[in-house]
Structure 1
């Protein structure tokens, strides 16, 4: 898709919950799309974010590689951040490690400066007060004081990763909101957007009926009569 198509698709997805997206993807046979452990961690994560995945990969710590000196290597977390385009969602595969922060406030500040839309990870951040002050939207499994090298070895960026038990490829689309983060495979984007927008509209109508006092049987899912009522409401 062109970036122009992206803008329209992402705008539409900003109005679609991750709950709706998981249901749509489930109907398409994709059951494993919700990133376990990645939950809203900063205040900025209270707003829904949509963007292309920029993947960052760690493996378990190995003492000869996971050293403070590694932070200055050409293949470092710092270098990864310099390659993140504005508007992307950084997806950090931190192996679900919860006792070492994969990175903290200074790196998040640089991401915010570069216009990165959000950070999503199955791991934890450190320096939470500082991270919060950067205004970056972060979905993670919490926080920890120790540095990344206490539990993780940085490997590379823009490779396929496993984050929270979900396969994420560079340029897949990530949608994150208060229910967590979901991946839409890049090839399914336009199809999913079309279904999702209609599904949100339909569920909005259902909610109106519930507020008006209607019982759920025959309404959700709708019988023929209620389907017809819904179609009339769109005219």
Structure 2
């Protein structure tokens, strides 16, 4: 489940905005997890394999504090998380019950989890911030998860923020949110991403010099030739 360092190094320099463009060219439009926002400014771009968790609506006989000691619990799921993974939690967009608090986030941090991404919310926000675990969520709420949710399982396909996420998909998070790269497309996206970033950087240079957008963004044949010539001069 680990990610090659070369993939991490490459995608750490590619914005999620660029990744959504590349995935759109592959026909994938629904890859941005709705509602998952960084809970503090200045978080780095993070790349990791998805470790999925799934909640369902609360059912009174199951959503109890006693369930936290169950073999199938958020606590057990955290102990199964490998180092470097991104925990992706399907909380059905519920915003009045926090899926994890400071203690669970502290344990994830100790286990080397790269980040937590959810379409729900966390609780104990001050303590969560103190753990230094990078979190992308809809915000915070005081009630515990069992006030509105029942934990179902981990490492199975989930729907997080309206996006299908499978275990081992690649997750990239930055200030713009969280993007899912299907595992089967990772190599193609990694190969194409640096060139897309270089092209857009060149286009930005042209804009700053006063160039108009038609024929530049996207580039027509004339501007493609100018871009290729600029690349050759830099080599």
Do both share a fold (TM > 0.5)? yes
1:20 corresponds to: 18
Picking from 139, 145, 149, the partner of 1:148 is: 145
* 2:193 corresponds to 1:196: yes
Measured in 1, the distance between the counterparts of 2:71 and 2:219 equals 57
* 2:2 corresponds to 1:33: no
Q: TM-score, normalised by structure 2?
A: 0.96
Measured in 1, the distance between the counterparts of 2:170 and 2:40 equals 21
* 2:110 corresponds to 1:116: no
1:100 corresponds to: 97
* 2:159 corresponds to 1:162: yes
Deviation at 1:43, TM superposition (A): 4.1
1:79 corresponds to: 76
Q: Structure 1 segments of 4 or more deviating over 6 A?
A: none
Deviation at 1:159, TM superposition (A): 0.7
Q: Counterpart of 2:75 in 1: which secondary structure?
A: helix
CA contact (8 A) 1:96 1:122 kept: yes
Deviation at 1:212, TM superposition (A): 1.7
Measured in 1, the distance between the counterparts of 2:40 and 2:86 equals 15
Q: TM-score, normalised by structure 1?
A: 0.96
The count of residues paired between Structure 1 and Structure 2 equals 232
CA contact (8 A) 1:43 1:137 kept: no
Give per-residue Cα distances to partners, 1:165-196, cap 9 Å, x unaligned: 11100000000111110100000000011111
1:57 corresponds to: 54
Measured in 1, the distance between the counterparts of 2:110 and 2:100 equals 16
Measured in 2, the distance between the counterparts of 1:190 and 1:197 equals 12
Q: Counterpart of 1:119 in 2: which secondary structure?
A: strand
Deviation at 1:219, TM superposition (A): 1.2
Measured in 2, the distance between the counterparts of 1:221 and 1:23 equals 12
* 2:136 corresponds to 1:139: yes
| Structure 2 unmatched runs, 5+ | none
Give per-residue Cα distances to partners, 1:87-135, cap 9 Å, x unaligned: 1000001011000001111000010111100000000000000000011
| Structure 1 unmatched runs, 5+ | none
Q: Counterpart of 1:232 in 2: which secondary structure?
A: helix
